Amino acid sequence: MVQALESIRTSGGNLEIVNQLLLPHRIEYLEINSVEDAFDAIKSMKIRGAPAIASLAALSFAQYLTKALEQSPRPAYLTSTTEDLKAHVVPILSYLYESRPTAVNLGNAIKRLNKTLKEAVEKAGGDVTQVAQALIKEAKSVADEDVGRNKDMSKHGGEWLVERVKSKGESGEGLNVLTVCNTGSLATSGYGTALGFITYLHETKQLGKAYYTQTAPYHQGSRLTALELKSLEIPSVMVCDTMVGSLFQHHRIHAVVVGADRIARNGDTANKIGTYNAAVLAARHKIAFIVVAPVATVDLDIADGTGIPIEHRPPLEACLVRGALYPFTEGREAEIAQIMITPPDLKGVYNPSFDVTPAELITAIVTEKGVATRRAGETSFDLSSVV
Ligand code: MRU
C-alpha cells in the first residue's frame, strides 16, 4: 500500500508535525502547542518547504485563537473591543512572519490573515468572537487549500510536458525528469509541487525515472525526497549535486522540474540552492526547465529576482552532515548523529539557503491556474494568465 508521509497532522485541537531533522531514519511526530513552538519548528527546519511552513504558521495561529475562545474566563483581548483583539493578534502574525524570510507563501498567508482581520472587524459590529472565528476559518483554509491546488498544477504541468515531448516527435511515455530539494508531501500539506508533477507522471504511467539531487548542505534530496519516492514506489535515482552535468551528458533527461520559494513578477525564481546550477546546465543541454508552484508563491510586488530576500543559514549547518550511524545494528533503532566534515571552527563559510534562477533559463512556470511560457525572443514571463 503506497502511503505518502504527512508533514502536518491535525486532530481535534491537536497539531503535530513530523520532525524532519530526524528523517529518514526516524519518523517522530512533534506536538505544536503554541505559536512559539511553530516559530521554532520553522526556524530550526523541523518543518520546511514553502507551502508547509505557511500551513503550520496559519494552523498554529488558528490553534492559539481556538484555545483562547475555549478558555474560561476568556483572556482580556477576547472580552473587550475588536480593536483590542486586533492590537493583540497583529504582533503575533508579524512574529510568525519573521521565522524564515525567502518563501513568500508564509508572507502571503500572513497578509491574507491581516486582510481577514480588517474585513471581519468592519463586518462584526464589535463582536470579538465573530472576528476570532473568521480568523480561525481563514487560517485553516490556508492549509486545506494546498492539496487540491497541488494536484491541479501537477496535472497541468505533466500534460504540458507530455505534449511538448510528443510535439518534438518523441514518445511521451517513459519521461525522465530531474528534481532538486524536496517538494513532496513533506514540503506541502500533501501531494507536492514538483514532486506532485512527478507523482502525476507516475500515476498516469508516463514516468521513466525520477532523478533527484542530494541537495547539500541540508540534504533535502537524499534524506527527504529519497524517502518520499521510496514510499510512493516511484522509480528513482539519486545523484550528487556535482553529477548533474554528467547526468545530462550521458542520459536522456526530458525536463528539470523544481518547486519555488518565491517567483518575482518577471518569472525570476528563488528556490533551493543548486537550482540555478541545474538550470544553467539544462539550458546548455536544451532540457526543459519547469517551475511548479502555487499562485501563493508568486510575488507580484517584486519586479525581478534582485528584490528577493535570500536567507543565509548558520555557517555550522554547512559543516555538518546529519544522518544515522552506519552500519545499522540489527534490531536496534538507528542512532542519529551529526558529523562534522570540516576542521572545527572553520572561518569563512558561504551558506545561502536559496539561489535565484533568472527567467530566461526557465521554460515554463506552472501554477494551479495553468502553464505560462515565455514568448519567443523574450527573457521574462508575463504571469498574468497563471496568477
Ligand atoms: O530550505 P527549505 O527546505 O525550506 O527549501 C525548500 C525548497 O527550496 C523547496 O524547493 C520549495 O520550498 C518548494 S516546496 C514545495
Q: How many domains does the chain have?
A: 2
Catalytic residue status for 261: yes
E-strand spans in 229-276?
A: 236-239, 255-258, 262-264, 269-272
- Boundaries of domain holding 178: 150-373
CA-nearest residue for atom 6, ligand 1, is 49
User: How remote is the CA of residue 228 from the centroid of ligand 1, in Å?
Assistant: 15
Domain-embedded: residue 384: no
Question: Do 127 and 173 belong together in one domain?
Answer: no
Question: Do 289 and 331 belong together in one domain?
Answer: yes
Domain-embedded: residue 386: no
Question: Do 124 and 165 belong together in one domain?
Answer: no
Q: Ligand 1 pocket: which of 261, 277, 311 to mutate (most atoms <8 Å of CB)?
A: 261
Question: Do 141 and 169 belong together in one domain?
Answer: no
Distance, CA of 8 to CA of 96 (rounded, Å): 17
CATH classification of the domain holding 200:
3.40.50.10470
Question: Do 173 and 310 belong together in one domain?
Answer: yes
What number does the ligand 1 atom closest to the CA of 354 have? 8
Domain-embedded: residue 385: no
What number does the ligand 1 atom closest to the CA of 220 have? 3
Note down pLDDT in tens along the chain; length 387 residues: 466 789 999 988 899 999 999 999 989 999 999 999 999 999 999 999 999 999 999 999 999 999 999 999 999 999 999 999 999 999 999 999 999 999 999 999 999 999 999 999 999 788 999 999 999 999 999 999 999 999 999 999 999 999 999 999 987 779 999 999 999 999 999 999 999 999 999 999 999 999 999 999 999 999 999 999 999 999 999 999 999 999 999 999 999 999 999 999 999 999 999 999 999 999 999 999 999 999 999 999 999 999 999 999 999 999 999 888 876 777 777 788 899 999 998 999 999 999 999 999 999 999 999 999 999 999 999 999 999
CATH classification of the domain holding 86:
1.20.120.420
**Residues flanking ligand 1, CB < 6 Å:** 48-51, 103, 181, 183, 187-188, 193, 220, 259-261, 271-272, 353
Task: Output the pLDDT for position 2.
Answer: 60
User: How remote is the CA of residue 53 from the centroid of ligand 1, in Å?
Assistant: 10
This prediction's pTM: 0.95
Question: Do 111 and 208 belong together in one domain?
Answer: no
* Residue 278 identity: A
- Catalytic pick from 146, 261, 268, 299? 261
Question: Do 224 and 160 belong together in one domain?
Answer: yes
User: How remote is the CA of residue 48 from the centroid of ligand 1, in Å?
Assistant: 6
Task: Output the pLDDT for position 14.
Answer: 94
User: How remote is the CA of residue 90 from the centroid of ligand 1, in Å?
Assistant: 26
User: How remote is the CA of residue 77 from the centroid of ligand 1, in Å?
Assistant: 36
Question: Do 104 and 206 belong together in one domain?
Answer: no
Q: Ligand 1 pocket: which of 220, 310, 353 to mutate (most atoms <8 Å of CB)?
A: 220
Distance, CA of 3 to CA of 197 (rounded, Å): 17
